[in-house]
């Protein structure tokens, strides 16, 4: 029996279908050449998948590094097949009761390995996941244990899209099954657009049943504004910088007093790199939802390496830039709407007169808007302009500017959206015309849609992922705007159909509740031993009791908690201390108190 | 020596290097008591090598803080495994509880460790690991930390009190085994000269003598002593400080300086200190280590350091203590504790003259104290007329001391 047949015979013992499929596969995925050590190594399109000198040694180094971060009880999923040196090394590196799975997106690759390497001794100690990605995801979901993805980059890069799909599907499953309560500290800015997003995110997390510590720095805006009034710019910059530093320290103090599982900061939150590094040293997990255009606001470069997870509203180039600046995990998380605020409302006749219009635009006076919006000044319809920072705009725009250019609140905004036949949504840009790099979708798109309001929005490359052309109308050339407004003003039924469809899409997929589910699921996938386990309810008293057989002494301690109650070290330690100064303690009690003393080192954050 | 830990005692000192050195008199006094079993020592892992040089200590158990931190971190995700692993580890290191633990620290970890590892606890924790009330000497120590100004009983002697023993009135010495030094440091102390170890830093920034002050001190010292030699002692984190001190010194001076900062292990540091006649520095672990290996100490005590509490222990050490007038505090800083940066004048000439000529000489804002030992432990005598006020040491001892009594029973705070 040759090597291929021996390997297939071994596989067939565990997975006959896989053995059959491998026999039918044609192979030829890799170009096989000998390494200096004589073992086979593989290349694809001129790129080596393993060391050309010593693939075994390279694989051992990889496996040792991966094993160091794995936790007991996790299922290890290897991305990247190659010639499986790394999987074999990993199998040898971790205990036999650790489950290892290997994703096989292309059976031709596994066919090639079977031709050149003897796998029969260990390959049945690995779970081979193959076939459609949905089937692989479903199979992984049934493990009921935290999954840790280990990326063997040289081989995994060939199937990045399959892996991304797999991760997305698993994330959805984690999100759907989430039952545990995560404690999230939400840190907002002193002022600005992301302040309201921080509030929406915090509310959404609470609605999902998680515990939220809201660290709200907007309370200090008054002091910040007093400094803005200083005439000397050096004084202003120094004092505002010191206030931001102080608020960073305040954030730390709040976190130390009630340590969360995750710190979620919104763009512009006063968190510096030293402060974030300090939090990391103390083992806090931090995430940033950067709800800004990374090309416009560039301070992310200074803190990219500080956060454990980045969530951004742009894709490829943004993710690449952040990683280049030191970010470890970058994920796409688009904007959303808050349906309890952004919703259809009926306007009184007086409100309709004051706030309604044929055509409206709400937003600040960026250069592209100043250049494009005058096209809407015509006798054919009533156009109203709302928002601030329109100083110095053309006289004609000044004539339609409402309330003297004052900022309007969310409630008024919602009424304007509802009272307008055609809402113009033009993404901000500092040039004239339309943003040539326009990718991210602004919050207004989701808010207008959630209101059931009809909108015409400048085209964005990421828009088709969140709305179809039947839900939101787009334009991609400035001169197309006026004809579109003219056309759709006449079509009330068409407007309503699109607006209703857009609202349904938001309710189904684009609320802050959805975003927070996606946020936690992503972190859960990235950190299966921490947030992942909490999301799956593994830290609740009931689950812990069920698993406490090896240490039965824990049972009486855990039995004091409600089954659904999340139980952490500090909770158990507190119960022990509450028994009084002269209580008789067990050894387990003493050990828990000792561990809690070290946990409390987080209090020494300042 | 009893081999079974169940018949042995365990001294617990989980604080810093200086505290471990200050524990030597208590260990010596315990060893002199017939009722006390043979002793082992539990100390932080980085000091375990030094612990093995303590006379009268059998075995040194290293307290691995990082391991406990890791367990604390992991408990949430793997509780059963973590507890099982800790138990396995403890059983491997300490198969049975000690007969008695002599706990010298007041923090909860130390009290919990004492309760976990022994059948009987002396010192903080003796009334149970959760008890808020402390034994008299521990309460006294807490009062000293809070009120500071009037105490006359040295920390090392309070440690004796915590263990229920009186100080022996002698200064214990560490026995440093032959230690290989980096080649360029091997000549330290081997050639004739007045070798001075300068402790360049301190764990607490408030107690760090500024580099420019040390630079000036070295310049004055090398001017005053033709055969003067200087060894800079400091950790890896203090290398920069060592370089800053040398920056600006003449090449003639630099030829008489050996920079050992960041280049030695704890045992090598101890070996270097033992080769120097004097050690000078603020109230730090290496200063006390110097006294324990035979160097005479010149302490520069300022910020929160007080000679009566933590001065160099033994006979004939000197300490310059900063008085209020040594500091230059802005109005806005009057309510903040002074630190090195507030010191307006440093006793450079006075300390150099004392070391070189054995001539005590005052310095504005500073008082000069010499150490001595008697039946009540360490005492410090002021050069000149100034004497510290406060309750006499013998009165404190009569008020607080309870001679050691080791019950043969298990303590009642833990279920077996």
Residue B64 lies in a domain: yes
pLDDT, residue B332, reads 62
A499 three-state secondary structure: helix
Q: Which residues of B touch A594 (CB under 8 A)?
A: 68, 109, 112-113, 116
Residue B186 sits at the chain A interface (C-beta within 8 Å): no
d(CA B207, CA B17): 15
pLDDT, residue B363, reads 86
- Domains detected in chain A: 3-159 (no CATH), 183-331 (3.40.50), 349-510 (3.40.50.2000), 549-605 (no CATH)
Kindly indicate the confidence band of residue B409, based on its pLDDT and cuts at 50, 70 and 90: very low
Give the angle subtended at the CA of A411 by the CAs of A408 and A414, to the nearest 5°.
95
**Do B109 and B191 fall into the same domain?**
no
Q: How far is CA B31 from its chain centroid?
A: 20
- Token pair 């693939």 in the structure block, residue: A55
Average pLDDT over chain B reads: 90
pLDDT, one tens digit per residue, over A412-470 is 999 999 999 999 999 999 888 899 999 999 999 999 999 999 999 999 999 999 999 99
- Between chains, do A593 and B79 touch, taking CB under 8 Å as contact? no
In the structure encoding, which two tokens stand for residue A437, read together?
A: 């790099």
Residues A512, A165: contact at Cβ < 8 Å? Answer: no
Q: Which residues of B touch A533 (CB under 8 A)?
A: 77
Q: Does residue B416 have a pLDDT over 50?
A: no
pLDDT, one tens digit per residue, over B148-171 is 667 889 999 999 999 999 999 999
Last residue of a domain, one of B100, B135, B169: B169
DSSP B10: E
Q: Does residue A392 have a pLDDT over 90?
A: no
Sheet holding A473-475, edge to edge: A383-386, A357-362, A420-425, A455-458, A473-475
- Between chains, do A585 and B108 touch, taking CB under 8 Å as contact? no
Residue B66 sits at the chain A interface (C-beta within 8 Å): no
Average pLDDT over chain A reads: 90
- Which residues lie across from A578 on neighbouring strands? none
The residue range of the domain holding B139 is 5-169
Last residue of a domain, one of B169, B193, B218: B169
A vs B, Cβ pairs < 8 A, gives 105
pLDDT, one tens digit per residue, over A209-243 is 888 999 999 999 999 889 988 889 888 888 988 89
Tell me which residue in B77, B107, B127 faces A530 most closely, judged by beta carbons: B77
**Do B83 and B134 fall into the same domain?**
yes
Q: Which chain B residues in 116-155 lie under 8 Å from chain A, judged by CB atoms?
A: 116, 127-132
Q: Does residue B408 have a pLDDT over 60?
A: no
Residue B277 lies in a domain: yes
Last residue of a domain, one of B137, B169, B201: B169
Tell me which residue in B68, B76, B84 faces A569 most closely, judged by beta carbons: B76
**Do B130 and B195 fall into the same domain?**
no
**Do B165 and B270 fall into the same domain?**
no
pLDDT, one tens digit per residue, over A61-103 is 999 988 887 877 788 999 999 999 999 999 999 988 889 999 9
**Do B161 and B189 fall into the same domain?**
no
Tell me which residue in A538, A550, A590 faces B80 most closely, judged by beta carbons: A550
Q: Which residues of A touch B64 (CB under 8 A)?
A: none
- Selected for mutation to probe chain B from A585, A589, A596, A603 (highest B CB count within 10 Å) is A585
Residue B383 lies in a domain: no
Three-state SS across A29-52?
CCEEEECCCCCEEEEECCEECCCC
**Do B330 and B363 fall into the same domain?**
yes
A527 three-state secondary structure: coil
pLDDT, residue A338, reads 95
Q: Does residue B407 have a pLDDT over 60?
A: no
- Between chains, do B72 and A587 touch, taking CB under 8 Å as contact? no
Residue B53 lies in a domain: yes
- Between chains, do B81 and A530 touch, taking CB under 8 Å as contact? no
Residue B82 sits at the chain A interface (C-beta within 8 Å): yes
Residue B35 lies in a domain: yes
Residue B401 lies in a domain: no
Sign of CA dihedral B31, B33, B34, B35: negative
Kindly indicate the confidence band of residue B142, based on its pLDDT and cuts at 50, 70 and 90: confident
Residue B96 sits at the chain A interface (C-beta within 8 Å): no
**Do B74 and B212 fall into the same domain?**
no
Residue B94 lies in a domain: yes
Q: To the nearest whole angstrom, how far is the Cα of A596 from the nearest Cα of chain B?
A: 7
Quick count: other Cβ atoms within 10 Å of Cβ B225? 18
**Do B47 and B130 fall into the same domain?**
yes
Higher pLDDT, B221 or A72: B221
B122 three-state secondary structure: strand
What does the DSSP assignment read for B160-192?
A: HHHHT----SS-----PPP----GGGTTTTTSS
Q: Which residues of A touch B412 (CB under 8 A)?
A: 584
Q: Which residues of B touch A283 (CB under 8 A)?
A: 73
In the structure encoding, which two tokens stand for residue A6, read together?
A: 């021996």
- Between chains, do B87 and A591 touch, taking CB under 8 Å as contact? yes
d(CA A126, CA A91): 8
Q: Please give the sequence-ordered ranges of beta strands (E in DSSP) within A49-155, or none if there are none.
A: 75-79, 100-104, 127-130, 147-151
ipTM of the complex: 0.90
What does the DSSP assignment read for B59-120?
A: EEEEE-HHHHHHHHHHHTT-HHHHHHHHHHHHHHH-SS-BSEEEE---SHHHHHHHHHHBSS
- Between chains, do B131 and A582 touch, taking CB under 8 Å as contact? yes
Residue B68 lies in a domain: yes
Domain count, chain B: 2
**Do B155 and B11 fall into the same domain?**
yes
Residue A490 sits at the chain B interface (C-beta within 8 Å): no
Residue A231 sits at the chain B interface (C-beta within 8 Å): no
- Between chains, do B72 and A599 touch, taking CB under 8 Å as contact? yes
**Do B157 and B222 fall into the same domain?**
no
> Distances in Å between the alpha carbon of B408 and those of A254, B104, B161?
47, 21, 21
**Do B101 and B192 fall into the same domain?**
no
CATH number for the domain harbouring residue B155: 3.40.50.2000
User: What are the φ/ψ torsions at residue A409 (nearest 5 degrees)?
Assistant: -80, 175
Kindly indicate the confidence band of residue A543, based on its pLDDT and cuts at 50, 70 and 90: confident
**Do B191 and B91 fall into the same domain?**
no
Q: Which residues of B touch A574 (CB under 8 A)?
A: none
- Token pair 């923090």 in the structure block, residue: B107
Quick count: other Cβ atoms within 10 Å of Cβ A85? 29
């Amino acid at each position: 029996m040759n090597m291929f047949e021996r390997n297939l015979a071994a596989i067939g013992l565990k997975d006959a279908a896989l053995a059959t499929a491998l026999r039918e596969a044609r192979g030829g995925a890799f170009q096989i050449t000998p390494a200096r050590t004589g073992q086979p190594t593989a290349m694809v399109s001129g790129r080596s998948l393993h060391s050309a000198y010593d693939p075994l040694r390279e694989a051992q180094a990889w496996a040792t590094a991966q094993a160091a971060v794995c936790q007991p009880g996790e299922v290890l999923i290897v991305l990247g097949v190659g010639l499986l040196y790394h999987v074999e090394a990993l199998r040898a590196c971790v205990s036999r009761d650790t489950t290892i799975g290997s994703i096989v997106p292309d059976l031709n690759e596994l066919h090639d390995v079977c031709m050149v390497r003897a796998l029969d001794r260990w390959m049945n100690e690995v779970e081979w996941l193959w076939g459609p990605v949905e089937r692989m995801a479903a199979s992984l979901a049934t493990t009921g244990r935290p999954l840790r993805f280990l990326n063997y980059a040289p081989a995994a890069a060939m199937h990045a899209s399959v892996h991304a799909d797999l991760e997305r599907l698993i994330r959805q499953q984690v999100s759907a099954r989430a039952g545990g309560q995560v404690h999230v500290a939400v840190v907002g800015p002193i002022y600005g657009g992301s302040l309201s997003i921080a509030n929406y995110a915090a509310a959404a997390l609470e609605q999902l049943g998680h515990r939220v510590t809201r660290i709200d720095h907007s309370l200090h805006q008054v002091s910040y504004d007093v400094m803005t009034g200083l005439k000397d710019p050096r004084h202003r910059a120094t004092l505002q910088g010191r206030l931001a530093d102080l608020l960073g320290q305040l954030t730390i103090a709040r976190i130390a007093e009630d340590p969360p599982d995750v710190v979620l900061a919104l763009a512009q939150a006063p968190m510096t790199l030293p402060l974030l590094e300090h939090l990391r040293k103390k083992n806090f997990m931090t995430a940033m939802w950067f709800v800004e255009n990374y090309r416009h606001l560039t301070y992310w470069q200074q803190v990219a390496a500080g956060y454990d997870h980045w969530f951004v509203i742009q894709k490829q180039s943004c993710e690449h830039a952040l990683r280049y600046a030191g970010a470890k995990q970058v994920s796409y998380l688009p904007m959303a709407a808050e349906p309890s605020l952004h919703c259809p409302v009926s306007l009184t006749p007086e409100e309709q007169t004051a706030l309604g219009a044929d055509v409206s635009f709400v937003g600040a006076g960026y250069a592209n808007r100043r250049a494009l919006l005058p096209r809407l000044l015509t006798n054919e319809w009533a156009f109203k302009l709302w928002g601030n920072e329109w100083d110095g705009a053309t006289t004609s725009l000044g004539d339609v500017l409402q309330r003297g250019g004052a900022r309007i609140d969310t409630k008024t905004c919602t009424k304007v959206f509802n009272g307008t036949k055609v809402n113009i949504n033009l993404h901000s840009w500092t040039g004239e015309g339309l943003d040539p790099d326009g990718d991210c979708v602004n919050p207004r798109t989701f808010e207008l849609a959630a209101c059931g309001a009809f909108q015409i929005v400048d085209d964005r490359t990421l828009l088709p992922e969140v709305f179809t052309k039947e839900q939101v109308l787009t334009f991609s050339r400035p001169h197309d705007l006026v004809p579109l407004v003219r056309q759709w003003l006449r079509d009330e039924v068409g407007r309503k159909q699109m607006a209703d469809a857009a609202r349904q899409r938001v309710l189904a997929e684009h609320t802050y509740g959805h975003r927070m589910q996606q946020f936690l699921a992503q972190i859960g996938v990235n950190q299966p031993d921490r947030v992942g386990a909490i999301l799956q309810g593994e830290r609740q008293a009931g689950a812990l009791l069920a698993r406490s057989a090896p240490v039965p002494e824990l049972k009486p301690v855990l039995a004091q908690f409600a089954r659904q109650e999340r139980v952490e070290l500090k909770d158990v330690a507190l119960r022990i201390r509450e028994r009084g100064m002269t209580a008789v303690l067990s050894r387990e009690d003493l050990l828990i108190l000792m561990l809690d003393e070290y946990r409390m080192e987080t209090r020494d954050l300042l | 020596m009893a081999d079974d830990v169940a018949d042995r005692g365990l001294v617990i000192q989980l604080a810093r290097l200086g505290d471990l050195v200050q524990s030597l008199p208590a260990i010596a006094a315990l060893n002199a008591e017939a009722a006390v079993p043979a002793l082992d020592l539990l100390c932080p892992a980085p000091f375990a090598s030094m612990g093995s040089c303590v006379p009268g200590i059998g075995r040194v158990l290293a307290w691995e803080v990082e391991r406990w931190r890791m367990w604390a971190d992991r408990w949430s995700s793997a509780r059963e495994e973590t507890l099982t692993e800790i138990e396995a580890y403890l059983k491997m290191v300490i198969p049975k509880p000690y007969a008695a633990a002599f706990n010298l620290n007041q923090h909860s970890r130390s009290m919990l460790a004492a309760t976990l590892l022994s059948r009987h606890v002396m010192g903080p924790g003796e009334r149970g690991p959760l008890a808020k009330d402390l034994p008299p000497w521990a309460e006294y120590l807490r009062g000293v930390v809070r009120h500071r100004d009037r105490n006359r009983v040295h920390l090392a002697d309070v440690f004796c009190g915590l263990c229920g023993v009186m100080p022996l009135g002698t200064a214990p010495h560490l026995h440093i085994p032959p230690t290989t030094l980096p080649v360029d440091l091997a000549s330290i102390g081997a050639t004739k000269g007045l070798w001075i170890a300068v402790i360049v830093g301190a764990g607490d920034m408030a107690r760090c003598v500024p580099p420019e002050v040390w630079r000036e001190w070295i310049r004055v010292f090398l001017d005053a002593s033709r055969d003067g030699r200087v060894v800079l002692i400091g950790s890896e984190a203090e290398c920069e400080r060592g370089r800053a001190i040398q920056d600006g010194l003449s090449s003639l001076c630099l030829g008489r300086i050996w920079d050992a900062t960041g280049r030695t292990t704890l045992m090598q540091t101890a070996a270097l200190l033992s080769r120097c006649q004097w050690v000078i520095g603020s109230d730090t672990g290496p200063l006390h280590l110097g006294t324990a290996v035979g160097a005479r100490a010149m302490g520069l005590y300022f910020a929160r350091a007080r000679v009566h509490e933590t001065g160099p222990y033994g006979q004939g050490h000197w300490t310059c203590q900063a008085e209020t007038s040594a500091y230059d505090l802005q109005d806005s800083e009057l309510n903040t504790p002074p630190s090195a940066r507030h010191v307006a004048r440093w006793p450079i000439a006075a300390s150099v003259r004392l070391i070189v000529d054995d001539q005590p000489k005052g310095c504005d804002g500073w008082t000069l104290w010499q150490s001595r030992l008697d039946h009540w432990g360490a005492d410090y005598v002021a050069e000149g007329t100034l004497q510290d006020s406060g309750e006499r040491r013998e009165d404190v001892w009569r008020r607080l001391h309870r001679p050691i009594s080791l019950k043969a029973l298990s303590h009642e705070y833990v279920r077996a």
